[in-house]
Amino acid sequence: MDTWKFFAITHADHVVCNPTSIGKLDELIALLDPPPSLRILDVACGKGELLLRIAEHYDKTDSHGHGLDAVAIDISPHFIADLRDKHQLRAPTARLEVLEMDGAEYKAPSDSFDLTMCVGASWVFGGLEGTLRYLAAATRSGGEVLVGEPFWIAEPPAEYLEYSGLKRDQFGSHESNVEAGVAAGLMPWLALVSNGEEWDRYETLQWRAAARYARAHPEDPDTAELLDRVEHSRREYLRWGRTILGWSLYLFAKP
């Protein structure tokens, strides 16, 4: 089954395609300190909800008439289409360059963005350290870097790693995630850790979306695989992930 079709189906009802809430996004946005002309790079933007909410907030608060300028990148044609559909409806004054491509292939000009983001997709750059290095290089002095990243709450047992296909060194601790930003030359400014309710919403909406798709599309040859993968993920989450794997938004500043 095509990977991006799978995620488009399972995340059909998600406003935010990560285990966080609209409330946390709005809190984060309110704490940003944008310059008069704000330029953003959003790698693996998904449906673009965070970017659009920043654009909406900026449009309400900016009195300089400069507007927002952003580059939004995602490899999923489904999510990119969703963002393009919503752009003119929600943020018509924002200048968005929307690119359907692998974010790792985008050659970001150095020191050119006020805010760089890669939320929940550090795999694009081979892990958190590579992601932070890439974003830091693209961010101007005085700008901000935002990532969203899992972390181990507790030591993952071998049976969990085997069942999930995860590797022990794939993620670090909450502390090591913050320190990775420091190692990249950034100053840690904020961490918004997801709670159980946010995780449950993120995971269980996928169960519902898959079941509804299967019921509406019984002729789709991918349906059996879709349901098998979601069932596997459900067992993994309920047995282990809910108490072992955490997630947080991390905001850093570039000196």
Where do the domains of the chain lie, and which CATH numbers do they carry?
20-154+166-195 (3.40.50.150)
At residue 37, the pLDDT reads: 78
At residue 93, the pLDDT reads: 87
Q: Of 40, 16, 20, 15, which Cα lies nearest the Cα of 249?
A: 20
Structure tokens at 42: 């959003």
At residue 239, the pLDDT reads: 98
At residue 33, the pLDDT reads: 79
At residue 62, the pLDDT reads: 54
At residue 66, the pLDDT reads: 56
Digitized pLDDT (tens) for each residue of the chain, 255 residues in all: 999 999 999 999 999 999 999 999 999 999 997 777 799 999 999 999 999 999 998 776 554 545 689 999 999 999 999 999 999 899 888 899 999 999 999 999 999 999 999 999 999 999 999 999 999 999 999 999 999 999 999 999 999 999 999 999 999 999 999 999 999 999 999 999 999 999 999 999 999 999 999 999 999 999 999 999 999 999 999 999 999 999 999 999 999
State the Cα–Cα distance between residues 132 and 127, nearest whole angstrom.
Answer: 9
Burial class (CB in 10 A: 0-12, 13-18, 19+), 68: buried
At residue 169, the pLDDT reads: 95
At residue 201, the pLDDT reads: 97
SS3 43: strand
H-only helix segments in the chain: 3-10, 22-31, 49-61, 77-90, 128-138, 158-164, 174-183, 196-216, 223-236, 242-244
